[in-house]
Amino acid sequence: KTARDALATMPKAELHLHIEGTLEPELAFELARRNDVPLPWGTLDELRAQYRFENLQSFLDLYYALMRTLRTADDFRDLMLAYLRRAAADGVMHAEIFFDPQVHAFTDHVAYDDVLDGLREGLRIGEKRYGVTGALILSLVRDMDVATADRILDMAQARKDEIVGIGLDSAEVGYPPSMFVDQFARARSFGWHAVAHAGEEGPADYIRQALDLLHAERIDHGIHVLDDDELEARLIRDRIPLTCCPLSNLRLQVVGSIDDHPLPRMVRDGLVCTINSDDPAYFGGYAAANYAALAGAGMPPDTLAALAANSIEASFADDADKERMR
Ligand code: ES4
Ligand code: ZN
């Protein structure tokens, strides 16, 4: 067995994955044709030349452009099935998956119910076909009008039991968690868990706001916690999980190289970290590739195994389901 196979078969949960970020260029081209959505790139190679990012925003521009090709429930089902197949091959037993319904509903005019129907059908078929369980996190897009967040929660309320949590994503700097206090309070009143992207490009104080104002139970990315010793001590003490995404941080130039990634320091300090893939179609690999990148940077196998165990522990699955994953 190769080292990579060992990483791929290590049982793990994926806690930070945007389903729209699994849209591979080939499927985007196929959907553009199927749905008559014009794309500014004439060939796959022309499209493939766009995957060099300076920062979060330059990635988001391409991510939202390709997302426009997703138009029907069947598209979302196919996207989910393609992801779950890859997840299973990487040892992912369970995935808690973000989606961005404000963009689908208000930018691309795809009804919330169609998006949810498609994703849920994908999860249902995928669980039977690949043995991976999945749950959906409705992620609010922080750089859209806050009124659209209220409207999407209006739509989501009738089917609230089909969603496991509320999230917060997209352009971070200038869009502090404090803007979304009411929306998160409402989502928590639905019985949903709460998570938020914070401290990816934004400051440590956004992590504090996510905890204090949004009552986030996990922090997505969170690597800028290292700029604030007092906050770091609190996360260690309270065992707040961080969903780290090494290949994402590399490709968005949040870190200069994988060898400079702060994960080893975070683990040594005692933070509860997990390894995740964020937008794998854009960042060069799915779950096992993220574990492999850290292994290549010298992270020992027992540390990787501990982080995989953390991912199961930090998931929103119930205790019986966690036992199944271990
Ligand atoms: C995202 Cl890498 C990243 N950061 C923030 N928001 C996002 N949405 C999709 N990918
Ligand atoms: Zn993310």
Q: Is the pLDDT of residue 7 over 80?
A: no
CA–centroid distance, 23 to ligand 1, in Å, is 14
Residue for token pair 């859209």: 144
Average pLDDT on 142-157 reads 98
Q: How confident is the model at residue 314, as a pLDDT?
A: 98
Query: What is the percentage of the chain residues whose pLDDT exceeds 90?
Result: 97
Q: Is the pLDDT of residue 60 over 80?
A: yes
Q: Is the pLDDT of residue 15 over 80?
A: yes
Integer Cα distance of 66 and 136 in angstroms: 21
Average pLDDT on 105-130 reads 98
Instruction: Kindly report the average pLDDT of the chain as a whole number.
Output: 97
Q: How confident is the model at residue 1, as a pLDDT?
A: 61
Which one of 16, 17, 18, 247 would you pick to mutate in the ligand 1 pocket, going by the greatest count of ligand atoms within 8 A of its CB? 18
Asked if this assembly's ipTM is beyond 0.90, the reply is yes
Q: Determine contact, residues 247/216, Cβ cutoff 8 Å.
A: no
CA–centroid distance, 221 to ligand 2, in Å, is 7
Number of other CB atoms surrounding residue 57 within 10 Å: 15
Question: Strand pairing partners for 52?
Answer: none
Which one of 17, 59, 173 would you pick to mutate in the ligand 1 pocket, going by the greatest count of ligand atoms within 8 A of its CB? 59
Tell me if 197 CB under 6 Å of ligand 1. Answer: yes
Integer Cα distance of 44 and 207 in angstroms: 38
Query: What is the percentage of the chain residues whose pLDDT exceeds 70?
Result: 100
Tell me if 80 CB under 6 Å of ligand 1. Answer: no
Number of other CB atoms surrounding residue 39 within 10 Å: 16
Tell me if 200 CB under 6 Å of ligand 1. Answer: yes
Q: Is the pLDDT of residue 105 over 70?
A: yes
CA angle, residues 156, 144, 180, in degrees to nearest 5? 65
Integer Cα distance of 264 and 261 in angstroms: 7
In the chain the domains, ranked by start, together with CATH numbers, are 3-325 (3.20.20.140)
Q: How confident is the model at residue 239, as a pLDDT?
A: 98
Q: Which residues are catalytically annotated? A: 200
- Per-residue pLDDT of 197-245, as tens digits, reads 999 999 999 999 999 999 999 999 999 999 999 999 999 999 999 999 9
Q: Determine contact, residues 148/188, Cβ cutoff 8 Å.
A: no
Q: Is the pLDDT of residue 128 over 80?
A: yes
Closest CA to 57 of 148, 172, 146: 172
Average pLDDT on 169-177 reads 97
Average pLDDT on 141-167 reads 98
Integer Cα distance of 116 and 113 in angstroms: 5
